[in-house]
Amino acid sequence: QVQLVQSGAEVKKPGSSVKVSCKASGGTFSSYDISWVRQAPGQGLQWMGGIIPIFATANYAQRFQGRVTLTTDESTSTAYMELRSLRSEDTAVYYCARLIAAAGHFDSWGQGTLVTVSS
């Protein structure tokens, strides 16, 4: 059973950046397809992008292109999501999740990381 554990809550100023981590255990990290999904307060789920460590190539949702970077560190089985040029609308809970690529669903989720953007 895959477990994903995320870093703690962050408070950031508008215009700054945030980097959230997601540490995986149980299974072969390099073959995972890790996506990031965010949820603004009281809102639905929004896919941001995904990355497969063994390929080290990420794909991003159009709306986040140029502002988000996904990376992985295979030595620590950790995935990272960096979001730049933060604005108040980026206040949300950010989740990492493992995508089962053959079927397109997320079978394991991190606990979520609240990022608050406020001056």
Partner 1 sequence: EIVLTQSPGTLSLSPGERATLSCRASQSVSSSYLAWYQQKPGQAPRLLIYGASSRATGIPDRFSGSGSGTDFTLTISRLEPEDFAVYYCQQYGETFGQGTKVEIK
Interface contacts to partner 1, rule CB under 8 A: 35, 37, 44-47, 50, 61, 95, 97, 99-100, 103-107, 109-112
User: What's the Cα-to-Cα distance from 96 to each of 5, 19, 72, 118, 119, rounded to whole Å?
Assistant: 9, 12, 12, 23, 26
Q: How far is the CB of 13 from partner 1 (least distance, A)?
A: 26
Q: How far is the CB of 14 from partner 1 (least distance, A)?
A: 26
DSSP notation for 29-93: GGG-EEEEEEE-TT---EEEEEEETTTTEEEE-GGGTTTEEEEEETTTTEEEEEE-S--GGG-EE
Minimum distance, C-beta of residue 75 to partner 1, in the bound complex (Å): 26
96 vs 117 by CB, closer to partner 1? 96
Rounded to a whole number of angstroms, the minimum distance from the CB of residue 74 to partner 1 is 22
The span from the CA of 62 to the CA of 88, in Å, is 19
Decide whether 16 or 57 has the Cβ nearer to partner 1. Answer: 57
Residue 17 or 34: the one with the smaller Cβ distance to partner 1 is 34
2 and 24 in contact (C-beta within 8 Å)?
A: yes
Closest CB to partner 1 among residues 8, 104: 104
